[in-house]
């Protein structure tokens, strides 16, 4: 699971440094934030693969941040591990209900933290999604959650990634906005159809540096198609 990016939101600098050192040695890329404001600045630059979130933060609770992240379309699928000194069962339930995927009580060892992270990331990347898909120089690594074109990495959000994965595994067929919502967002999603257009625009922008944006084609009155026949 190394190579993943982890955002740690923790106001105690010694803990951040300990975690960053241990996980850095394990091959993870660490991004640090000392409070919620810094966390949002980091998230605006890059959506991580996992978030380590302290319960007690200056200004606002980590629970509040977890709830906000799970409501935001760009971050709702990012797994969260709560870090806290509160070890009561009721506190754990509260953290999980706020959107946390796991809960680790301070003090914790680097080995325990790494084991928890690996387990959460495995759950977030189901079996069968570790394939690499290639189409005309565009490569999507589902297991590694990476997209490259001619060897250059392309940055995109998790929803755009899922949208591209669906397109690349279902090429040359037109899908309506409603069908894309069902296949990519899920049948129980309450997202409006016009949201699809927004993410199509974002996906095209992410693919534009390599010129692969032209593969996302609009079919007037019908929907969208992924095609290498530009």
Q: How many domains does the chain have?
A: 2
Range of the domain at 167: 132-226
154: pLDDT confidence band, cut at 50, 70 and 90? very high
Closest-CA residue to 118 (of 29, 54, 7, 28):
28
Class of residue 82 by CB neighbours under 10 A (exposed 0-12, middle 13-18, buried 19+)? buried
Q: Do 33 and 116 fall into the same domain?
A: yes
Q: What pTM value is reported for the model?
A: 0.54
30 vs 182, residue with greater confidence? 30
Q: Do 108 and 140 fall into the same domain?
A: no
Q: Do 75 and 107 fall into the same domain?
A: yes
The position carrying tokens 């394990």 is 26
* Distance (Å, whole) CA 194 – CA 158: 18
Q: Identify the three-state secondary structure at position 110.
A: helix
**Domain end among 79, 105, 124:** 124
pLDDT(128) > 70: no
Q: Do 82 and 167 fall into the same domain?
A: no
Q: Do 10 and 113 fall into the same domain?
A: yes
What CATH number should be reported for the domain holding residue 86? 3.40.50.2300
For residue range 14-59, what is the model confidence (pLDDT) as tens digits?
888 999 999 888 888 899 999 888 998 988 888 888 999 988 888 7
Q: Do 26 and 65 fall into the same domain?
A: yes
Q: Do 175 and 204 fall into the same domain?
A: yes
Provide φ and ψ at 81, rounded to 5°. -115, 120
Q: Do 172 and 120 fall into the same domain?
A: no
Q: Do 189 and 85 fall into the same domain?
A: no
Q: Do 68 and 154 fall into the same domain?
A: no
Q: Do 143 and 202 fall into the same domain?
A: yes
- In a 13 Å sphere around the CA of 140, the CA atoms on its Cβ side amount to 19
**Domain end among 66, 96, 124:** 124
Structure tokens, 73: 């379309």
For residue range 67-86, what is the model confidence (pLDDT) as tens digits?
888 888 778 888 898 888 76
């Amino acid at each position: 699971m190394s190579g993943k990016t982890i955002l740690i939101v923790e106001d105690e600098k010694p803990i951040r440094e300990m975690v960053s050192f241990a996980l850095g040695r394990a091959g993870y890329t660490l991004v640090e934030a000392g409070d919620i404001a810094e966390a949002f600045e980091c998230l605006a630059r890059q959506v991580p693969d996992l978030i380590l979130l302290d319960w007690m933060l200056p200004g606002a609770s980590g629970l509040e941040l977890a709830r906000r992240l799970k409501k935001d379309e760009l971050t709702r699928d990012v797994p969260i591990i709560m870090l806290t000194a509160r070890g009561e069962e009721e506190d754990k339930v509260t953290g999980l209900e706020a959107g946390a995927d796991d809960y680790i009580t301070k003090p914790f060892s680097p080995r325990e933290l790494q084991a928890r992270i690996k387990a959460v990331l495995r759950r977030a990347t189901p079996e069968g999604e570790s394939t690499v898909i290639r189409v005309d120089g565009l490569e999507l690594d589902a297991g590694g959650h990476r997209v490259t074109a001619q060897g250059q990495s392309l940055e995109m959000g998790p929803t755009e990634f899922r949208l591209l994965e669906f397109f690349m595994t279902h090429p040359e067929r037109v899908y309506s906005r409603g069908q894309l919502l069902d296949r990519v967002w899920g049948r129980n999603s309450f997202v409006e159809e016009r949201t699809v257009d927004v993410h199509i625009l974002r996906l095209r922008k992410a693919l534009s540096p390599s010129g692969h944006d032209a593969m996302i084609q609009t079919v007037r009155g019908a929907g969208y198609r992924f095609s290498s026949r530009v």
